Chains A and B, each alone.
Chain A
Amino acid sequence: MSVLARVLGSRRVLVATLLSSAAAWAVTVALAALLLAAAVDAVLPIPLVLRRVLLPISLGAGIAAFVACLVRGRNVFSLERVALYLEERVPALEYALVTALGTSGPASRHLESAVERAAPERALRRPVLRAIGLPVAAFGVLLGLLALAPIEGRRILRPQAGDLLLDSQPVNPLASRLTPIVARVVPPSYARQETQDLADPTVITGLTGSRLEIRGRGASRGGLDSMGARLGEAAASLVAAGDTWSVSLSMPEKPVALRLLDRNNIRLLTLEPVVDQPPVVSLIAPSRDTTYALPRGRLVLAGGARDDFGLARAEFELLRTTGSGERFDIRGWTLGTVTPRGARTVTLQSTVLLDTLRLSPGDVLHVRVTARDLNDVSGPGVGASDTRTIRIVDPRVPDTVQVVSAAVAELDTTMLSQRMLIIRAETLQVRRSRITEQAYRDRSDLLGRQQGQLRERVEAIIEELTTATDAGFTGHTESSLILSEAVAAMKLARQELGAVRVGAALPHMYRAVKALERVRSSNRLYLRGIFPKLVVDLDKVRLKGTDRPAVGPRAPRPEADDPRKILEARLVVAMGLLSRGAGSALDSLVLIRIEALTLAADVAVPLGKAIADLRAGREPLPQLRAARRLLLRATETVPGVPAWRGAP
């Protein structure tokens, strides 16, 4: 064997040793870190959040140890260093190895025989054994220690909320069995959510219908006779299995307090349901109510639906009503059905040939989209879009949508005019540098006057809509209110154009056209609409009735209880309890918050923060004052709504 081959062979052995040793130290260090955590946990239970990061931290420490070992032993990768190492271990070599490696070409016979006599590979056995044996031995010792603390080991290696109950600490027989507790929330299967384990929760949140299991220890100490559970006003039963007690419930539809009782101890948990919302459904086409002269042609239908957990079915629903007066025939169809199998959003498209529906003059076709969600626990939630009505004109019946349809036609031309004005204003702005200042002024002024005329036309439409009482309207409709927005924007645009500020006028003009578009798409045609106005001659008939009533004097209706005032009064009492200590006020605040979740959701937020502050030993008063301010806020007033007389 040549000198080079011997050194190469030794290097391979040393590299393998280094890698093995580094790996063994890495595992040992990681285990040592976990064991240290388990020891601490045995004395002072480590919170779940921290335990969840202990394993990654330990792995990180192990990797760091591995890298450190490699860095420390990096010399094994160099042939010269390996040769020097062997020379140091075998003095009999007398630098024959180093000299042979330093010689270019094959080594002399004298050197090779000197190396062969010394057999330097043998010197590697002990250091190799020591390098590997030490970490392996340490690993074995640590493993043995871990076996002595199996519960803590499990809590560190597989941290779960439920392992809070695995604490091996001896339990004081007089201590409350309501601490610690573990809650498991199993959502309904349709929601496809994961089971959640909560350690010592104060609030349990889950989908309505979720299965809840609350577990604690100490069932074998005194049995369950002295324990109890109440969900709101209803009793819930506890069961025991070994030393563990548990209560199983279903997440209710409304927030409620769960009271756990153990002798004189009470523990309050807030059950906060998350309600599965019904699907949100929209009908995109047809975009508005329409009147057809003839029942012919294609009707394009488009819609969409979305749900928070998943859709089961969505479809178009068509309803045809034929007839008049007291005799109507109604027929319905569904089409374009989609079964999304749990998808959260879906779009629908279909086409109807009106000729095939056998529509007659005077018929009305109602179109909408309906969707059902997957909720098989408290549902299914059903959502429906707005309905569009498509009417077929009956020439024999004096159709009475003229007022509204006239307004719609006027609206269409107004919108076109507004768009034209915008194009002209934009062009003027672009050409400003190419025309004289006077020409620019003149054109801006002209646009301003045209904008003013257009505003007057929209005002006339509003007037028509709000005063055409013969057609059944009274007062402002949603459309007329949006039109008022357009008028306001047009007025500002007119002012800017008059002041030769075309650039400043444009944003107002854009707003005006957008408002007109909104009205056009939301415009409603009220069926028929002519309503003979019968005026009763009150003076002629006043108190001429011969039938006698059987009523005595009336007392005014008592003022209805204002839940916010009641909550505020309770909050003041709870705030008073703070002076006796946090514990006295805490339960009251929790109960007030549960009611606030239903009656005054805005107040629940600062109350929740106040409760958290109280539990953390912080000052809760700022949040409590904020909650009280919200409860005391003045009743909302609607401008323009007059008072009306009550008792006759």
Chain B
Amino acid sequence: MKPFTFATGMYASGDWESGQMVAAIVIDSLARFTTLDLAPAGVNVALESSELLEFPFVYLTGHLPVRFTAGERRNLSRFVERGGFVFMDDHNHDVDGIFHKTATEELTHLFGPLRPVPNDHALYRAFFTFEDGPPATSHELNGWGDNLVHEHLLGIMRDGRIDVLYSNKDYSSEWSMHPDSKRFLEKDPSRFGVNIVVYALTR
């Protein structure tokens, strides 16, 4: 059996690669807190590639418009249908931003409307406990972007299980640091990343 590999999804229309550090910092946290068999580096996989189906989890982010191609739509739909987990994070953390508008439009078109994930959802207890739901990011607290602290994450849920997790909170910026830099912080900032991956693999 293959070790868990953090996959970043490549799509044709935008800056898919803007969260360059996210894979490493989440892998680092997974190694620090779990015994999960891990690949030491993330991979980038084209959404329209059939090899997307080799991964149980795919991370998508960006600032620019998200306009999937027909092949990307078809493949992403198959990925979710087969139990894959999509984590999409708005790197703009801007509720009226172009990424948010176009990404949610695409997800709605593919999977139906996004709904708020309740803050007592199993996602927030999948490994660490987050009593108040999704942890706020420093970008939210500093009033950047839309100057909002988003209360909920959004999701596409099927039978209570999240298939697609969508975040306006800009975890991509929050986790944009070299793993070695964590040692200067009191708490590991990507603990919630551990919850997302563990949830994706166990629920």
Contact = CB atoms under 8 A, between A and B. Distances in A.
B27 A536 contact: yes
Given A474-B51, A528-B17, A538 B33 contact: no
Given A289-B12, A328-B64, A550-B128, A544 B32 contact: yes
Interface residues of B, number: 70
A378 to B, nearest CB: 14
A472 B10 contact: yes
Contact of A545 (B13, B32, B43, B46): B32
A386 B98 contact: no
A644 B1 contact: yes
Contact of B4 (A545, A557, A644): A644
Contacts of B77: none
Contact of A474 (B28, B31, B45, B178): B45
20 contacts: A364-B64, A366-B65, A368-B67, A387-B65, A473-B10, A474-B46, A477-B48, A524-B46, A526-B10, A527-B16, A531-B17, A534-B42, A536-B27, A536-B40, A542-B31, A549-B128, A557-B203, A638-B53, A644-B56, A648-B201
B2 A534 contact: no
Contacts of A44: none
Interface of A: 289, 319, 321, 326, 328, 330, 364, 366, 368, 384, 386-387, 389, 469, 472-478, 481, 522, 524-538, 541-545, 547, 549-551, 554, 557, 560-561, 638, 641-648
B38 to A, nearest CB: 6
Contacts of A531: 8, 17, 20, 44
B49 A475 contact: yes
Contacts of A641: 53-54
B41 interface: yes
Contact of B173 (A326, A473, A551): A326
B135 interface: no
Nearest to A636: B82
Contacts of B202: 554, 557, 646-648
Contacts of B12: 289, 387, 389, 524-526
B65 A536 contact: no
B174 to A, nearest CB: 13
Contact of B32 (A473, A543, A557, A646): A543
Contacts of A481: 50
A207 B46 CA distance: 38
Given A531-B17, A550-B129, A645-B201, A469 B43 contact: yes
B198 interface: yes
A481 B198 CA distance: 33
Contacts of A642: 1-2, 54
B179 A529 contact: no
Contacts of B44: 469, 472-474, 531
Interface of B: 1-4, 8, 10, 12-17, 20-21, 23-24, 27-38, 40-46, 48-51, 53-56, 63-65, 67, 69-71, 91-92, 98, 125-129, 159, 173, 178-179, 187-188, 191, 194, 198, 201-203
Contacts of B17: 472, 527-531
A545 B188 contact: yes
B129 A389 contact: no
B125 A644 contact: no
Given A560-B159, A645-B2, A532 B20 contact: yes
Nearest to A522: B71
A547 B63 contact: no
Contacts of B29: 545
A89 to B, nearest CB: 89
Contacts of A319: 65, 98
A557 to B, nearest CB: 6
Nearest 4 Cβ contacts at the A-B interface: A475-B51, A545-B32, A387-B67, A648-B36
A337 to B, nearest CB: 20
A536 B129 contact: no
A348 B51 CA distance: 36
A647 B128 contact: no
A558 B77 CA distance: 23
A534 B22 CA distance: 10
A474 B126 contact: no
Given A534-B42, A643-B1, A646-B56, 6 more contacts: A474-B45, A476-B49, A478-B46, A534-B178, A538-B27, A547-B33
Contacts of B92: 326, 328
Contacts of A326: 63, 91-92, 173
Contacts of B53: 638, 641
A522 B70 CA distance: 11
Given A547-B191, A551-B126, A534 B23 contact: yes
Contacts of A528: 15, 17
Contacts of A550: 125, 127-129
